[in-house]
Structure 1
Amino acid sequence: MRMKSRYVFVIAVVAVVMLYFLVRTLVGGASASTAHALPTGPAPASVQVRLTPEVLRPHDVTLRGRTQSTRTVVVRSETAGVVAQAPVMQGAVVAQGAVLCRLAVDARQASLDQARAALRSAQLQHQAAVELGKKGFRSPTQVLESQASLDSAQASVRQAEIARAQVDIRAPFTGVFDHRDAEIGTYLATGDPCGTMIELDPLLVVGDLPETEASKIKVGAAASARLVSGEVIQGRVRYISRDADPQTRTYHLEIAAANPRMDIRSGLSAEVRIGAGVGPAHLTPVSALVLDAAGRQGVRYVLADGRVAFAPVQVVEQTADGAWVSGLHGPVQLITVGQSYVSEGQKVLIGRTGG
């Protein structure tokens, strides 16, 4: 009985050892199989792309502007007097030379009549001196003195005519008599204002051109302006400043546009588009535009090796089909679905969309 107990103990130990190695072998094989079955890294993201070609397209520079009169002049009196007539209504369109204010003539007409009478007398005296000189009854010096008297009389007439004409304060150009300063009965000293004239044909559209766009615009470039009323006027760039505003770093720009009826007012807000030539562009869905970590607007696209890249772009034109952008080169595989969930350098699986 004592021998049997020993055999039982040995057999139990051997069984436990064999069971240990058996279980270890089974567990180790399963772990190896499981480790072999797991992927070594995360699965690539799936995106959809559209092959977008590069095309040549007219480029426009867009900016905010406003209409402005070509000239604004305060018309002033050249002589002193009381306003006797105000023939033009404030706000009326007037032609160049139209009388805006008329001063009382006072003694100016009498001074002109007197000067003309003196001129006729000097003419007769000079004529007689010439005739007598031919006969030897006047010396050459006397004849020259009569000529000088005649010249002085003519100058006096001219001076009196100018003084008489200055009672009429006239429009210096064709435009709108926008504001009246003097009414009938107002006394005007020399230099006092009669009113303000503005020239609206041609009409100016002015704005500030960003320094990034200044080199693209040339004097004479075609431009259009959409006013707040929806009306669109056409014109051409007539001036671009050479010196930037030190505060805004922008360049002042002026566009001249025809306004023959002078019905478009000065000071209206306008959306200005200026032709900047022809350049490469890509048609991009608006939804494909994203911002990178630096806050730049651009698009993500897939390189030939399947990695994602980012390119900053500028929107050239918005259309119903999408946004035309510049900044890309050649045909690109533009990411149209999933662009917000991938990053630069990441490998992706590609599916294609139409267009």
Structure 2
Amino acid sequence: MRMKSQYLFVIVAVGAVALYFIVRSLFSAGAPEAAHAKTTGPAGPPSVQARLIPEVERQYDLVIRGRTQATRAVVVRSETAGVVAAAPVLQGSFVKRGDVLCRLAVDARQAALDQARAMQKSNQLAQQQNVELAKKGFRSAAQVLLSQANLDASAAAVRQGEIALAQVNIKAPFTGVFDHRDAEVGTYLAPGQPCGTMIEIDPLLIVGDVPETQAARLKVGAPASARLVSGQLLHGRIRYVSRDADPQTRTYHLEVTVPNSRLDVRSGLSAEMHIGAGSGPAHLVPVSTLVLDSAGRQGVRYVLADGRVAFAPVTIVEEASDGLWVTGLSGPVQLITVGQSYVADGQKVRVALTR
């Protein structure tokens, strides 16, 4: 019984193999003709997916990185020599114009002024006497002129003494913040040495650098806004756009003024600036649709009314969360969203519109 089962298995296997080759030979006879028909038959145009993109009127905003900056920063220096006798203002304090930041010791300045005033009074009396005597013929005109010259010299000496005495008070040149103190009580200051640094932060500046491709679109007085790293939003206007580019970066310096009446915004904070750059027609396109043509220009491909592919160079005017706002297209366009890199300009395509 075992030998018969083995024979039966061999016979079944041989039959299956023979049946496979018979069936294969029958189907392979018509295969060359089918393959030939497939290769020589007419090829249809390639298929692409496209989306209808409308043209809209849009306010252009240029987005650049910037930072806050004091409107003015001045190192307040001594005009005379002396030892600091008083430092009435703490650094970081708000001060008004004319407030004393450092006061030098008076030393002999008051005495010199008193002496000059006494000399002026003496010369004034002498001048009056000489004028009266000249009227009676007891003084010559030259003597009167000499006494007048002495009186003028003493008046100048008084003025000089008053200035020297006033210079012991080193005052704030404008209203702002006394940001840093350089001289403490007991410090000797020579003429030109610093008492401290004053900054003005109301109004506050937000500064940045604009690419040369965008600088021509910015106008002084245009609205601008800035979002700080803290999330605070500030609004202001452009006060300055440089006319000369930085030779290294080829960018133009920009300054925007914003109010800061509460002095709660500090200088040196990073900010994202949105600058109003006019308005005009624009199209919102997906980032993935951007391609380069043979000349290296950045643009998009779209389908004309007759089903042919066309290329349009575009300029990015603003980045958005759902795409890029670009200029360079006209009217509604069937923008190719899938397959744009595998078709050529002027090529006929089949279009499947998507949303």
TM-score computed with the length of structure 1 as normaliser: 0.82
| Range moving further from structure 2, 322-331 or 224-233 | 322-331
C-alpha deviation, 1:297, in angstroms: 5.3
Task: Give the aligned residue type for 1:292.
Answer: L
2:209 and 2:352 mapped to 1: Cα distance? 45
2:322 and 2:38 mapped to 1: Cα distance? 50
Residue of structure 1 equivalent to 2:51: 49
1:69–1:203 Cα contact (<8 Å) kept = yes
C-alpha deviation, 1:339, in angstroms: 4.3
C-alpha deviation, 1:270, in angstroms: 1.1
| Range moving further from structure 2, 292-301 or 194-203 | 292-301
C-alpha deviation, 1:85, in angstroms: 0.3
2:336 and 2:241 mapped to 1: Cα distance? 40
C-alpha deviation, 1:211, in angstroms: 0.9
Relative to structure 1, the CA distance from residue 287 to residue 179 in structure 2 (aligned partners, 3 Å threshold; closer, same or farther) is: closer
Task: Give the aligned residue type for 2:153.
Answer: S
Residue of structure 2 equivalent to 1:157: 158
1:222–1:275 Cα contact (<8 Å) kept = yes
C-alpha deviation, 1:353, in angstroms: 4.0
Relative to structure 1, the CA distance from residue 242 to residue 134 in structure 2 (aligned partners, 3 Å threshold; closer, same or farther) is: same
1:308–1:348 Cα contact (<8 Å) kept = yes
1:47–1:348 Cα contact (<8 Å) kept = no
C-alpha deviation, 1:170, in angstroms: 0.8
Residue of structure 1 equivalent to 2:352: 351
Residue of structure 2 equivalent to 1:316: 317
Q: Deviations over 1:120-149 (max 9, x none)?
A: 112211122222222332222222222111
Residues 1:227 and 2:228 are matched in the alignment: yes
1:297 and 1:37 mapped to 2: Cα distance? 37
C-alpha deviation, 1:79, in angstroms: 0.9
Residue of structure 2 equivalent to 1:115: 116
1:216–1:276 Cα contact (<8 Å) kept = yes
1:205 and 1:76 mapped to 2: Cα distance? 27
1:46 and 1:70 mapped to 2: Cα distance? 55
| Range moving further from structure 2, 340-349 or 217-226 | 340-349
1:49 and 1:170 mapped to 2: Cα distance? 68
Residue of structure 2 equivalent to 1:22: none
Identity fraction in percent: 65
Number of residue pairs matched by the alignment: 324
Relative to structure 1, the CA distance from residue 214 to residue 317 in structure 2 (aligned partners, 3 Å threshold; closer, same or farther) is: closer
2:303–2:309 Cα contact (<8 Å) kept = yes
Task: Give the aligned residue type for 1:228.
Answer: V
Q: Which structure 1 segments of 5+ residues have no match? A: 1-26
Matching of residues 281-292 of structure 1 within 5 Å: 281-284=282-285, 286=286, 289-292=289-292
CA RMSD of aligned residues (A): 2.7
The alignment partner of 2:219 has SS state of coil
Residue of structure 1 equivalent to 2:23: none
C-alpha deviation, 1:318, in angstroms: 4.4
1:289–1:297 Cα contact (<8 Å) kept = no
The alignment partner of 1:164 has SS state of helix
C-alpha deviation, 1:296, in angstroms: 6.2
C-alpha deviation, 1:158, in angstroms: 0.3
Matching of residues 109-188 of structure 1 within 5 Å: 109-188=110-189
2:265 and 2:332 mapped to 1: Cα distance? 45
1:69–1:199 Cα contact (<8 Å) kept = yes
1:267 and 1:296 mapped to 2: Cα distance? 38
Residue of structure 2 equivalent to 1:269: 270
1:49–1:350 Cα contact (<8 Å) kept = no
2:122 and 2:278 mapped to 1: Cα distance? 72
Relative to structure 1, the CA distance from residue 195 to residue 213 in structure 2 (aligned partners, 3 Å threshold; closer, same or farther) is: same
2:293–2:299 Cα contact (<8 Å) kept = no
TM-score computed with the length of structure 2 as normaliser: 0.82
2:251 and 2:159 mapped to 1: Cα distance? 52
The alignment partner of 1:315 has SS state of strand
2:98 and 2:190 mapped to 1: Cα distance? 21
Residues 1:194 and 2:195 are matched in the alignment: yes
2:63–2:318 Cα contact (<8 Å) kept = no
1:190 and 1:36 mapped to 2: Cα distance? 97
1:37 and 1:184 mapped to 2: Cα distance? 98
The alignment partner of 2:129 has SS state of helix
Task: Give the aligned residue type for 2:42.
Answer: T
1:223–1:236 Cα contact (<8 Å) kept = yes
2:272 and 2:339 mapped to 1: Cα distance? 32
1:143 and 1:313 mapped to 2: Cα distance? 88
The alignment partner of 1:263 has SS state of coil
1:45–1:347 Cα contact (<8 Å) kept = no
Residue of structure 1 equivalent to 2:308: 307
Task: Give the aligned residue type for 1:40.
Answer: P
2:33 and 2:352 mapped to 1: Cα distance? 36
Q: Deviations over 1:68-104 (max 9, x none)?
A: 1122211111111111100000111111111110001
1:84–1:104 Cα contact (<8 Å) kept = yes
